[in-house]
Amino acid sequence: MAYPTFPDYPEFLVDNYKLQPADNVDRTEFEDGYVKQDPLNTRQRYEVPVQYRLHTQAEQLAFESWRRQALRSGALHFEWYDPVYHELRRARIVGGTVEYTPLTDRFDEWTVSFSLEYWV
């Protein structure tokens, strides 16, 4: 199955990037005080907050159009190039939610911020 591809025009900003493995352990406490831990899944889910610069208002509008149409309002998976590990990953936007912030009072440059999730 082919996935939509993340656009190539946004510039990755490393400012807020942090790798955050999601909880993948189930803890069961017994009456005798013993605590058992088991992995929930064989694969690990990661969430990463990312931020990209959109250099023009046209890029901001194009990105929002891509999110709404190709990703069905951010719900679908897409091919994303991980700039840290230099790998192509299948990812999706957590909750489909993105945040646009103008960088100038002319609204000609923007940042778009969101959390990605992917499995390894």
pLDDT at 22: 72
pLDDT at 112: 97
Put simply, whether the predicted model's pTM sits higher than 0.85 gets the answer no
Q: Is the four-CA dihedral 51, 56, 61, 63 of positive or negative sign?
A: negative
Please give the C-alpha separations between residue 41 and each of 38, 71, 109, in angstroms, as whole numbers. 9, 26, 41
For 8-51, the pLDDT digits (tens) are: 999 999 887 888 777 767 778 887 778 877 777 778 889 999 99
For 80-89, the pLDDT digits (tens) are: 999 888 999 9
What are the extents of the domains in the chain?
A: 11-119
